Amino acid sequence: MPNLAPPIVQPSLAAIEALPPGISGVTPDALEAWFAAHGEPPFRARQVLDAVWRSGAASPAEVTTLKPSLQAALGDAFRWDTLGDTEVIATEGGLTEKALHRLDDGVAIESVLMRYPSAPGRRERATLCISSQAGCAVGCPFCATGELGFGRDLLTSEILDQVRSAVRRLAAKGRRLTNIVFMGMGEPLLNLDRVLEAVSALNDPARLGLGARQITVSTSGVVPGIRRLTGLGPQFTLAISLHAARDPLRDVLVPLNRRWPVAEVVAAAREHARATGRRISYEVTMIGGVNDTDADSDAIAGILRGQLAHVNLIPMNPVAHTPWTASPMPVIERFADRLRDAGLPTTIRRNRGQEVGAACGQLAAERSGTPAPAAVARRRDRLVASSAAALRGERSREAVPAGIDAGTEANSLPTAPGIAGATRRAAGGGARWHGARGPR
Ligand code: SAH
Ligand code: SF4
């Protein structure tokens, strides 16, 4: 019998950084410098960028404009693709494709490609949802990635190679990628340097060449990161995962609210909208009987009134190991109407890809094995008790999740052994990271 259990991996940024860099994360200037060191003119860099981003070359050997010795040197110096096996699961008649990528240290991450066919007055769109970290330290209890805990930051090339994978799959069908959202696994503003490098590659006409307005980065509310982005000027559309405007409830739903309370998050976002002239998108995952009452919609209307903002209501995707489910559609519609009455443009977003577990991190979490039933039961009980206390208006007495402050100081989280375990224990689970099984 083959051993079908996924390998247990210890995510380590230092270990993955010790490998040759991924070619997609290398800047054009650095590539030119590499060719210069090999006695080659700068246009060689352009030939490689075209091969990486346009022609879909599968290896340096396919860059036929380079002589074989240079192809070999390039292959030794850089990893052509940082994604090992990619398992693609299609659903909804092929409109949604979930990809589970295994990285070179065995860590599994996800991306989701969603196609929206053309309609009268609207061109076809293809939106890719990508991951910025393996796992997440924030630990939102309705999110499968949050339950997994923090693994490690993704390298710039690992972020970008998710995009190259989708571009190749689309190109094979004569289609183009039109939008990218950082709404997969991880908190992008806790890996901000690399996310910014990735966005500049996505924007760069010599690489992917996607407009800044076609890129959205979603944050759970890392205030120092939002302020840093404001200083940089418009880079992309900023989405804030609000979920609740009342601190006691947001403390439970988005645990970093204990560090940066909702008023600070909204103030930083308001300043970002003022300075950049760009509308902020606020996301609210609608959880039945938890954050969907009139008091919640009124609190959101109160905190966002008069802002350059748009609210997106998303029915909660069913996630294992929580006591919660999505709010019923009439409740969501009533919530939306109350926000609109308060002058806030509001849309309801239907979930895509539920069949393949398209909520962020769901597939990777499922593949990482099942926690012990007792741990699941404890987690559910704790969530029921903490949300009940929150609805009574009590602030959480639980600590800020481990690693959040460290992440904002260095813009990346420490990846010392045990961090994933520490975070997941804080979230009530029992942690071990498993790599995904590749296709068989
Ligand atoms: N960490 C960032 C970005 C990744 S999460 C953030 O939280 O904004 C992307 C979005 O997916 C967030 O708005 C998050 O709230 C939402 N999400 C997570 N789990 C979900 C679920 N089970 N159902 C619906 N939306 C979910
Ligand atoms: Fe992290 Fe976002 Fe999931 Fe919260 S919703 S645990 S911030 S990935």
Digit-coded pLDDT (tens) for 385-411:
777 777 777 777 777 777 676 556 544
Average pLDDT over residues 358-365: 60
CA terminus-to-terminus distance, the chain:
14
Does the annotation count 360 as an active-site position? yes
Residue type, 367: R
Rounded distance from Cα 68 to ligand 2 centre (Å): 45
Distance CA 182, CA 413 (A): 18
Rounded distance from Cα 338 to ligand 2 centre (Å): 26
Does the annotation count 140 as an active-site position? no
SS3 content of the chain, % helix, strand, coil (to 5): 40, 20, 40
Give the per-residue pLDDT at 181.
95
Give the per-residue pLDDT at 394.
78
Catalytic residue, chosen from 32, 87, 110, 158, is 110
Average pLDDT over residues 17-41: 97
Please give the CATH number for the structural domain made up of 22-80: 1.10.150.530
Digit-coded pLDDT (tens) for 36-67:
999 999 999 999 999 999 988 999 999 999 99
Give the per-residue pLDDT at 382.
79
Average pLDDT over residues 110-130: 92
| Exposure letters 80-89 (e unless 16+ CB within 10 A, then b) | bbbbbebbbb
Label residue 234 by pLDDT band (50, 70, 90). confident
CA 300 → CA 7, 283, 295, 342, distances in Å?
44, 11, 9, 10
Ligand 1 atom, smallest distance to 315 CA: 24
What six digits make up the tokens of 53?
A: 């981003």
Distance CA 404, CA 144 (A): 18
Rounded distance from Cα 315 to ligand 1 centre (Å): 11
Tell me, which fold does domain 83-398 have in CATH? TIM Barrel (3.20.20)
Distance CA 71, CA 66 (A): 6
Query: Among all ligands shown, which has an atom nearest to the Cα of 288?
Result: 1
> Per mean pLDDT, which range of 1-15, 108-122, 291-305 is the poorest?
1-15
Give the per-residue pLDDT at 5.
55
> Which of the pair, 266 or 403, is modelled with greater confidence?
266
Q: Which of 133, 136, 143 most suits a substitution to test ligand 1, by most atoms within 8 Å of the C-beta?
A: 143
Sheet holding 237-241: strands in order across?
Answer: 83-91, 96-103, 108-116, 125-129, 179-182, 215-219, 237-241, 280-286, 309-315, 346-348
**Atom 8, ligand 1: which residue's CA is nearest?**
219
Contact between 124 and 116 under an 8 Å Cβ cutoff? The reply is yes
Average pLDDT over residues 147-169: 95
Label residue 133 by pLDDT band (50, 70, 90). very high
Beta bridge partners of 215: 180
Give the per-residue pLDDT at 248.
95
**Atom 1, ligand 1: which residue's CA is nearest?**
187
Q: Which of 223, 285, 292 most suits a substitution to test ligand 1, by most atoms within 8 Å of the C-beta?
A: 285
**Atom 4, ligand 2: which residue's CA is nearest?**
140
Label residue 380 by pLDDT band (50, 70, 90). confident
Distance CA 390, CA 247 (A): 8
Rounded distance from Cα 440 to ligand 2 centre (Å): 30
Residues with CB under 6 A from ligand 2: 136, 138-140, 143, 145-146, 186-187, 220, 241, 360
Ligand 2 atom, smallest distance to 145 CA: 3
| pLDDT at 424 > cutoff 50 | no
Residues with CB under 6 A from ligand 1: 136, 142-143, 183, 187, 218-220, 241, 283, 285, 314, 316-317, 319, 359-360
Ligand 1 atom, smallest distance to 217 CA: 3
Stated length of the chain: 440
> Which of the pair, 365 or 192, is modelled with greater confidence?
192
**Atom 9, ligand 1: which residue's CA is nearest?**
183
Beta bridge partners of 181: 129, 216
CA 270 → CA 23, 213, 280, 314, 360, distances in Å?
37, 18, 8, 22, 26
Ligand 1 atom, smallest distance to 319 CA: 22
Average pLDDT over residues 289-304: 97
Average pLDDT over residues 18-22: 96
Return the percentage of the chain with pLDDT > 70, whole number.
85
Distance CA 260, CA 400 (A): 10
Give the per-residue pLDDT at 417.
31
CA 223 → CA 220, 243, 270, 271, distances in Å?
9, 16, 12, 11
Q: Which of 140, 259, 316, 413 most suits a substitution to test ligand 2, by most atoms within 8 Å of the C-beta?
A: 140
Mean pLDDT of the chain: 86
Give the per-residue pLDDT at 91.
82
The string of DSSP letters for 264-297 reads HHHHHHHHHHHHH--PEEEEEEEBTTTS-SHHHH
Rounded distance from Cα 183 to ligand 1 centre (Å): 6
Total Cβ atoms within 10 A of residue 121? 5
Return the percentage of the chain with pLDDT > 90, whole number.
68
pTM: 0.89
| pLDDT at 344 > cutoff 70 | yes
Give the per-residue pLDDT at 415.
35
What six digits make up the tokens of 272?
A: 């970002």
| pLDDT at 183 > cutoff 80 | yes
HSE, side-chain direction, 13 A CA sphere, residue 331: 19
DSSP 434: B
Rounded distance from Cα 72 to ligand 1 centre (Å): 42
Q: Where are the domains of the chain?
A: 22-80, 83-398
Query: Among all ligands shown, which has an atom nearest to the Cα of 360?
Result: 1
**Atom 4, ligand 1: which residue's CA is nearest?**
183
Label residue 243 by pLDDT band (50, 70, 90). very high
| pLDDT at 436 > cutoff 70 | no
Distance CA 62, CA 106 (A): 26
What six digits make up the tokens of 372?
A: 């012990």
Torsion of CA 13, 17, 21, 27, to 10 degrees: 70
